[in-house]
A and B are shown apart, each in its own frame.
Chain A
Amino acid sequence: MLPVSSAVRFVLRRLVRAVPAVGTILVLTFVLIQLAPGDAVDALAGDGGDQATNDYLRSYLQLDRPIWEQFASYVGNLLRGDLGVSFVQGGTPVAELIGERVTATLLLVVTALVLSSLAGVLLGALAARWPYGRFDAALSTVSLVAYAIPGFWLAQLLVLVFAIRTGWLPVQGMTDARAEYTGLAAAADVARHLVLPAAVLSISELALVSRVTRSGLLTELSRDYVRTARAKGATERRSILGHALPNAMLPVVTIIGTRLGLLLTYAVVTETVFGWPGLGALLLSASQSRDRPVLLGLVLLVSVSVVLANLVTDLVYGWIDPRARQH
């Protein structure tokens, strides 16, 4: 056997671990489709169709094949990136529908991810600077409440205060429909529309990131190397930022994968409040019109991206911290 470096073996092992998760998602979704009352033909033809047409459709869609063959073709189609066509929107491919929307959602999610990471680390560091102090206590109370607030409700409250009452920010949408902006002005326009939804998404995340940063920092600050730094006369700021924080960042990195999943979930719901033209709007219309292929495509997309995000996080973690490769 060829000698393989430990790094490659680590990557391979992680890849192998992601396979059962994706496999389960595929099986689970397939089982759901099979269990669901009525099949694709019922959905397409409705109640009025005659038997011959229905039989033709069934064989055309290969629904008369044995179940494992159907599963094989289901997986095969997915692997080729074929998510099927929408029942409702005149046979538009699902992949196309999703493709149109995905940029807006990504913009929102990535903004929130970056924003909450930066601010969360900052808040967490401040709390760890004076643990059990007034700021720390305030922060933990706020995060307790922030966790209990449903994002869509917070969104409505923010709209009430910052858009409807004060008129500072736009209520809805991603661009101003009444104005034609180009270049920088267009970017500024999108940014203005981005403020509220990104804030909603960030707030629930902030609580989490700042807690993890705080506890990570407190652990690191009690270690010997920080004592050494302090003994050498490093300022408190330098001991925290220069020495302890880099090590305390490991758990913060670790949760990015999980957070991406959460953020996508929250984003979908938040988007609907703000009329943000992302996946959320698509999801909403698909679920209300029971457009199964679109729903399925979205769920698959999100589930698989969460698994992938976790995989990437694992790999990054192993790269930053060689100790993790041992497990």
Chain B
Amino acid sequence: MVVVVVVSVLVDVIAPGDPFASSGPSLRPPTADHLMGTDNFGRDIARAVAHGVRTSMTIVCWVVVMSLVIGLAVGMISGYRGGWVDDLLSRTTEVFQAIPLFFLALLVVGFFGAGIDHLILLLGFTSWELLARVVRAQTLSLRQLEFMEAARSSGASSARIIVRHVLPNVLPAAVVVMALVGSRVILIEAALSFIGLGDPNQVSLGYLIYSAQPFLRVAWWMSVFPGLAIVVAVLAINLTGELIADVLGPRRTISGARTRIGGGAKGLVQAEPQLAPGTLASPDPERPR
């Protein structure tokens, strides 16, 4: 993760120059000059990959911030308030969950043109549904605990309770979920630009792999390195999410999610929808009471 962040922040220092500019003979295998080889226009792949990583991370950051705000608000309010507010918000969440994100993104790009800003807005407004459900379940189970009772009986307002007591307790779980969302965003963006719907003015990892397609027979490096970059970025985000969750809250936040993010939490993403609402935050024997 450190590498990914450093690359995206310092891209102009370590890989200076225009990634679209030619910098040597075309279709050369990796050498000391061009660590990842060059493409059909003689562009340096290492430089393109560095810029691509930055594009991905920019999108991820914005989307994560947007869905964090929406998801936390929806989840905490619906879990804390209950009643018709909860019903309404839960139904809305379900609908968002039923819409295949990739196809929606495709439609938006097809109608409004390709652009990072469109992509960020779209993914930001549609990626919060998982977070909302997890936060809601957590909030529901928090409500039962004694310290909440204590806060309520000492006259704290709902808003104060939500911000001071609920928020810190749902944050670890939220971080795990956001890591998942972040990696999903990278993959969606890569897939979109792979089929040629990325922002034409930004280097994107998916686009690099797309342009490698006709040259698979002669230049494997054009495909292999950008792909590796995606894998590293996704793994980095997942593992960091796990790490932050461990630091923030040393208890098990979501049953199973902490053990192994890739399988565990992905299983959670997919398996959860049909289960009863309480399943996510099932009472955990290890949680201090």
Question: A residues bordering B, Cβ < 8 Å?
Answer: 17, 20-21, 24-25, 28-29, 32-33, 35-37, 139-140, 143-153, 156-157, 159-160, 164, 207-208, 210-212, 215, 251, 254-255, 258-259, 261-262, 264-265, 268-269, 272-273, 283-284, 286-288, 290, 292, 295-296, 298-299, 302-303, 306-307, 310, 313-314, 317, 327
B residues in contact with A259, CB < 8 Å: 270
Nearest first, the 6 A-B pairs at minimum CB distance are A144-B262, A153-B227, A148-B234, A36-B111, A211-B263, A211-B267
A212 touches B98 (CB 8 A): no
B271 at the interface (CB under 8 A from A): yes
Contact B104 A299 (CB under 8 A): yes
Most buried by B among A25, A254, A273, A287: A287
The yes or no answer to B20 lying at the interface (CB within 8 A) is: no
B residues bordering A, Cβ < 8 Å? 91, 94-95, 98-100, 102-104, 106-113, 183, 187, 190-191, 194-197, 206, 209, 212-213, 216-217, 220, 223-224, 226-227, 230-231, 234-235, 238, 256, 259-264, 266-267, 270-271, 273-276
Total A-B Cβ pairs within 8 A: 186
- Report the bound CA distance from A255 to B107 in whole Å: 25
Residue of A nearest to B235 (CB): A148
Question: What is the CA–CA distance of A28 and B224 in the complex, to the nearest angstrom?
Answer: 38
Question: A273–B210 Cα gap in the complex (Å)?
Answer: 9
Find B111's partner among A254, A255, A269, A292 (CB 8 Å cutoff): A292
Q: Is the CB of A159 within 8 A of B271?
A: no
- When the two chains form their complex, are residues A295 and B223 in contact, meaning their CB atoms are under 8 A apart? no
Given contacts A157-B223, A295-B110, contact A143 B263 (CB under 8 A): yes
Whether the Cβ atoms of A208 and B227 lie closer than 8 Å is no
Do A254 and B271 have beta carbons less than 8 Å apart?
Answer: yes
Task: Decide: A21 and B267 in contact? CB cutoff 8 A.
Answer: no
Q: Is the CB of B100 within 8 A of A306?
A: yes
**B262 in contact with A156 (CB, 8 Å):** no
* Interface contact A269-B191, CB-CB below 8 Å: yes
| Residue from the list A35, A146, A212, A273 in contact with B270, Cβ < 8 A | A212
Which residue, of B196, B206, B213, B266, has the highest number of chain A Cβ atoms within 10 A? B266
Q: Is the CB of A299 within 8 A of B262?
A: no
Q: CA–CA, A310 to B97, complex, Å?
A: 11
Quick check: B271 and A212 within 8 Å, CB to CB? yes
Given contacts A147-B234, A259-B270, contact A152 B194 (CB under 8 A): yes
Chain B contacts for A37, CB-based, 8 A: 112-113
CA distance A154 to B99 in the complex (A): 26
Q: How far is A251 from B113 in the complex, measured between Cα atoms in Å?
A: 40
Q: In the complex, which residues of chain B have a beta carbon less than 8 angstroms from the beta carbon of A298?
A: 103
The closest CB in chain B to the CB of A132 belongs to: B259
| CB < 8 Å neighbour of B103 from A156, A254, A272, A299 | A299
Q: Which of B194, B262, B276 contacts A147 (CB 8 A)?
A: B262
A265-B103 in contact given A212-B267, A259-B270, A272-B195 (Cβ < 8 Å): yes
Partner of A254, one of B190, B191, B274: B274
Bound CA span A302–B110, Å: 16
Taking CB as reference atom, which chain A residue is nearest B101? Answer: A265
New A-B contacts (19) at CB < 8 Å, excluding given A212-B270, A296-B107 = A29-B107, A144-B262, A144-B263, A147-B234, A149-B230, A150-B187, A207-B263, A215-B264, A251-B275, A255-B274, A262-B270, A269-B194, A273-B213, A286-B110, A287-B106, A287-B195, A295-B106, A313-B274, A314-B274
The residue of chain A having its C-beta at the shortest distance from the C-beta of B107 within the complex is A299
Given contacts A212-B267, A287-B195, A148 and B98 within 8 Å (CB-CB) = no
